[in-house]
Amino acid sequence: MSQQFFVICPKGFEEIIIDELSTFGISEYKATVGGVSFNGSLEDAYRVCLWSRLANKVLIPLVSDVVRQIDDIYKLCKSVAWSDHLDCSATFAVDFNGQAPFVRNTHFGALKVKDAIVDYFRDIHGERPSIAKQRPDIQLNAHLNKGVFTLYLDLSGESLHRRGYRLDGGLAPLKENLAAAILQRAGWKNIAASGGALLDPMCGSGTLLIEGAMIAADIAPGLSRDYFGFMGWRGHVPELWQQLISEAVLRKSAGLAKGLPEIRGYDASVKALNAAEENIERAGLSQYVRVSRKELQHFAVPTHTQVQAGLVVTNPPYGERLGETEALVHLYQYLGERMRRGFEGWQLAMITGNPELGKRMGIRSYKQYQFRNGNIQAKLLLFKIESQYFVIDSANRPGANQVAVKTEVVEMSEGATMFANRLRKNLRTVGKWAKQNDITCYRIYDADMPEYAVAVDLYNDNVHVSEYAPPKSIDPDAAERRIEEVLQAIPEVLGITNDKIFVKRRQRQKGTQQYTKFDSQKDFFEVQEGDARLVVNLSDYLDTGLFLDHRLVRLDIAKRAYCKRFLNLFCYTATASIHAAKGGAAFSVSVDMSNTYLNWAAKNIAINGLSESKHRLVRANVMEWLEDEQNNQLFDLILLDPPTFSNSKRMDAVFDVQRDHVALVDGCMARLEQNGLLIFSNNYRKFILDEGLISRYEIQDVSAQTIDMDFKRNQNIHKCWHIRHKAS
């Protein structure tokens, strides 16, 4: 016998729900917002409950009419022949949605429905069924909208998206039916049938992988559920249901017997992977779905398989706070690069709550769909990894959108000519050395001539000029004239335009002064140092995000870091931590007090395809962090590179490296493994290492070995020591 049913689904699913119903042989349907009604048999409704990968609920409308007062709802509900649906000894529950002037709240509305049902049984049988919040014999859904009240019998019980395999959703879980919708829109069923692989580089708790395996193996999503809402309903036909279950079991056996394509997931979080493995095991798919710990930098097509192409599907983080979003720009950019360089011929399906981030992929999507992921309005972006879809994003290009330094174009003065000659002389040596060593960021001038007290650094094809504050004995007009001569000479010698030059005045901070922002252009771009990709900013801050004089220290850390636990104190933008990670560090912890620098560090982590779950950023006062007994983890390699002084508002007292370095070093040594190494450096030119430290530890002054070719003219640019525990 044909009757009406209503399928509840997430908004945006209506079209694909209709496609799914058609595969079940259902042909009479009508879509509305958030659902589809259809005419069919009880067998059809059972089949939707068992096989729908997209639905939330399957409901039977019991009664519906216009209501104008609360008694109308009571009378309408009492008119139902409840004896056809439950016994006096049974239990039921009511879920009420909607509002009207005569319904004070949903609890009040639900209570009126319950009263009607209870009074029906009392009038006829003299006894009443009970209310049960957990797994009642029947679940009723009451809906009031624009004066029309409808009461439904819920055949599903709890939402159909709950397959029964997932207990731990992880940090950013996708509902199972949303995962299935993503895969359906991406054409996964056909890709799987042709032998294509399914890969998720940020798999979290594994929902996309499990749903993908169930689709490929023709496994009914409801097969593992032990409860449906119709099981306590008097209209339930157990024989019919069991027939459908037997059919589903046979289809599952046949699907698994033919074998599944390669299905793999990766994540940097151990917690997420543990949850994924448990979910996969509960789904009975451990033999077919594999997950492993891997950061995005190592994401590639599996090499030991015959996989030629397939689908990459992922739900990357969206970023709700500003600092997170800025770092995620680089994560999405990196993911796009990995896809373009290693996955040509594949397809990519990515759901994101921030579609603007998707534009940083460098690939044009060929289709987009609106979905909701929980309370977040999300968009599914579909990509074909083919060269015709690759785009050049000027926002990703190093040096884009620079701020011009406006200087009047005049004939070079005698002073400018003199400065230009010195710059050329330096470039003949330092420039040649940099090219031979693949160094793109280096110093070409550092107050070589006292009257031109500036430092000139190259960052790719951009120039950063730091003007040292002139002594009081120098006429301010003369100092200003000399900086103008510097700006005349640089474009002439380097063959660049003025918009590639950034000028800052550096002066010693005193008292309660602090370094502040210069600008707010957010003009970040990428440079390369060794194997590390680093983000710099030449316009907004006093420093650029990369201390060039510590280049050899960072490269040395990269060589030493393999399988080591690395600690980076006063980490700044965590450039040393990136080198440690690229060198194969087991993990790293980077500590700094500045949110600005830690957000910058997050950019560096993202653009290298690394994960903060493995390379942790900690906002803390380093002195207090070292004294905290809870931070008792030991490290194999520690970098301690404190500022000369700091008067941050988060500190009770001013930090002074000369005064405070003993406590710092002792604190680090307490965190250092017996065979570990502490690298201690600072830029205070009058610094003297404490004699007590020399007596307690094995200390080697390596300052000379850590000063690279471009800083040889200034041997006192920084000091550096290797500190180890004495042999016991």
Q: Is the dihedral of CA 158, 162, 163, 169 positive or negative?
A: negative
The model's pLDDT over 80-120, given as tens digits with 9 standing for 90+, comes to 999 999 999 999 999 999 989 999 899 999 999 999 999 99
The model's pLDDT over 652-679, given as tens digits with 9 standing for 90+, comes to 678 899 999 999 999 999 999 999 999 9
Q: What is the pLDDT of residue 305?
A: 65
pTM comes to 0.85
Output 625 or 505, whichever has higher pLDDT: 625
Domains of the chain plus CATH, in order, are 3-154 (3.30.2130.30), 176-223+252-393 (3.40.50.150), 397-543 (3.30.750.80), 547-724 (3.40.50.150)
DSSP 173-242: PPPHHHHHHHHHHTTHHHHHHTT-EEEETT-TTSHHHHHHHHHHTT--TTTT----GGGG-TT--HHHHH
Q: What is the pLDDT of residue 694?
A: 93
- Segments of 9-89 assigned E as strands: 28-32, 35-40, 57-66
Q: Cα 267 to the chain's mean position, in Å?
A: 11
Are 538 and 400 within 8 A, CB to CB?
no
The model's pLDDT over 521-552, given as tens digits with 9 standing for 90+, comes to 568 999 999 999 999 999 988 899 999 999 99
d(C-alpha 311, C-alpha 316), whole Å: 15
Task: List residues bridging with 458 in a β-sheet.
Answer: 442, 463
Task: List residues bridging with 526 in a β-sheet.
Answer: 535
Token couple for 160: 């159909």
d(C-alpha 76, C-alpha 63), whole Å: 7
The number of beta carbons lying within 10 Å of the beta carbon of residue 675 is: 9
d(C-alpha 476, C-alpha 230), whole Å: 88
Q: Which residues have CB under 8 Å from 176's CB, separation 6+? A: 53, 161, 162, 163, 166, 207, 210, 211, 221
**What are the φ and ψ backbone dihedral angles of 31, each rounded to 5 degrees?**
-90, 145
Are 24 and 44 within 8 A, CB to CB?
yes
Compute the chain's Rg from CA coordinates.
34
Is the predicted pLDDT of residue 161 greater than 80, yes or no?
A: yes
d(C-alpha 678, C-alpha 230), whole Å: 67
Q: Which residues have CB under 8 Å from 81's CB, separation 6+? A: none
Q: What is the pLDDT of residue 375?
A: 81
Map tokens 């430092």 to a residue.
Answer: 455
Token couple for 12: 């945006």
Output 712 or 473, whichever has higher pLDDT: 712
Q: Cα 226 to the chain's mean position, in Å?
A: 35
Q: How many CA atoms lie within 13 A of 524 on its CB side?
A: 18
Are 142 and 151 within 8 A, CB to CB?
yes
- Segments of 385-460 assigned E as strands: 441-446, 454-459
The stretches of 621-683 forming alpha helices (DSSP H) are: 622-627, 657-670
Mean pLDDT of 418-441: 94
Lowest mean pLDDT among 314-323, 348-357, 448-457: 314-323
b/e code 283-309 from CB counts within 10 Å (16+ = b):
bbbeebbbbeebbbbebebeeeeebeb
Q: What is the pLDDT of residue 631?
A: 83
Q: What is the pLDDT of residue 514?
A: 41
Is the predicted pLDDT of residue 401 greater than 60, yes or no?
A: no
d(C-alpha 86, C-alpha 698), whole Å: 83
% the chain with pLDDT above 90 = 77
Judge residue 106's burial from the number of C-beta atoms within 10 Å of its C-beta, 0-12 exposed, 13-18 middle, 19 or more buried. Answer: middle
Q: Which residues have CB under 8 Å from 495's CB, separation 6+? A: none
Token couple for 89: 């000894």
Token couple for 396: 């990703």
The model's pLDDT over 28-47, given as tens digits with 9 standing for 90+, comes to 999 998 999 999 999 999 99
Integer CA distances (angstroms), 652 to 107, 147, 467, 618, 648, in order: 53, 63, 32, 19, 8
d(C-alpha 489, C-alpha 485), whole Å: 6
Q: Average model confidence (pLDDT) for the chain?
A: 90
Range among 300-304, 355-359, 515-519 with highest mean pLDDT value: 355-359
Are 574 and 601 within 8 A, CB to CB?
yes
Going by pLDDT thresholds of 50, 70 and 90, the confidence category of residue 651 is: low
Mean pLDDT of 51-78: 96
